[in-house]
Structure 1
Amino acid sequence: MDMAFEDVFKYHVDRTNNVLSWQVLDSLTVEDATEASKLVKSSLASMSGAKLLVDNRFMIKNGRPIVFSPEVNAIWEQLQGGILPQVSQCAVLCSGAIMKMQMDRIARASGFINVLQSFWNDDPSVMKKEAYVFLGISSNELIDRPISV
């Protein structure tokens, strides 16, 4: 059974730090990815030089990383290409080395690679700190909250 969109995609706009953050908590359907893409675009419409903080750390099921389907990858790639002019930096927290490679590949294909840095570390607190340093922030309401998956 598929989870409701609100349960798999959480997002937050931090106007003080000009950061749009989101978390993906399970695999996304094409419909989920399309809806997420619309949300990201509408949130960025009122932001200039925005920083993105993408949290994919929880994309693990039964101890194995969840990877996006080619169709979902295509939607993310299209989104990245479309929002590139509005984004100054993008940090992606990954669930493993394979996801880091996938994120980097999508970013190269979309041209986002110049602003994107993906992070992976066995210690999630190290990875989060590195991403915060990269973005020039010290905290994020969405990413710092405790989560149960």
Structure 2
Amino acid sequence: MSKYEYKVEGDVFYFKYLEMASTAAEAQDQADFVRSQIDKPGIKKFLNDNRNVTSVANPEVSAIWGELMGWLSTKIEKNATITPSASLKMQLNRLSKTAGTYDTVRAFTDIDQALEFVGISDAKIS
């Protein structure tokens, strides 16, 4: 069974984690897949759904996803993350505000708000 699902909706690439990558190799494969999708013509936004993530990534997995997020910032117009908790949402939004990217990088706990942020509020994503 795959540890993620994905979908393209308009100019948005939606990536839903079902289970956190457990190894650096697995995380690298997932990051490479996301890059391949973002590089497709017409993809301008990234919606990262982490609602199902209940564990903290190990340092190697975190480093790979951190690298991916840096790369994404040069490729897309908006980046939304759906978090499993309000505290994580607040932490990510504080980081985004500090970095001066709050207009383009934001975290949510509510999927409808995230969909609105990336401009696909009528999409059928659950």
- TM-score w.r.t. the length of structure 1 is 0.69
- Considering only aligned residues, what root-mean-square deviation do their CA atoms show, in Å? 2.6
Aligned pairs for 1:93-112 within 5 A: 93-100=82-89, 103=92
Equivalent of 1:41, from 21, 31, 35?
35
Aligned to 1:138: 121
1:102 Cα deviation after fit? 6.1
Unpaired runs of 5+ in structure 1?
Answer: 61-65, 121-126, 145-149
Q: Describe the SS at the equivalent of 2:36.
A: helix
**Correspondence 1:10 to 2:5:** yes
Task: Give the Cα–Cα distance (whole angstroms) in 1 for the partners of residues 66 and 47 of structure 2.
Answer: 16
Question: Identity of paired residues, percent?
Answer: 28
**Counterpart amino acid of 2:13?**
L
**Counterpart amino acid of 1:23?**
K
Equivalent of 1:19, from 12, 17, 35?
12
**Counterpart amino acid of 2:6?**
Y
Equivalent pairs counted in the alignment come to: 124
> Once the two structures are superposed, what CA deviation does each residue of 1:104-127 show, in whole Å capped at 9, x if it has no partner?
58868xx6945210012xxxxxx1
Structure 1 moving runs of 4+ over 6 Å: 105-108
Q: Describe the SS at the equivalent of 1:79.
A: helix
Hey, which of these two has a bigger chunk of helix by percent? 1
Structure 2 vs 1, CA of residues 137 and 128 (structure 1 numbering), >3 Å: closer, same or farther?
A: same
Task: Give the Cα–Cα distance (whole angstroms) in 2 for the partners of residues 99 and 28 of structure 1.
Answer: 19
**Correspondence 1:129 to 2:112:** yes
Q: Describe the SS at the equivalent of 1:53.
A: strand
**Counterpart amino acid of 2:37?**
S
Equivalent of 2:68, from 69, 76, 79?
79
Unpaired runs of 5+ in structure 2?
Answer: none
- TM-score w.r.t. the length of structure 2 is 0.80
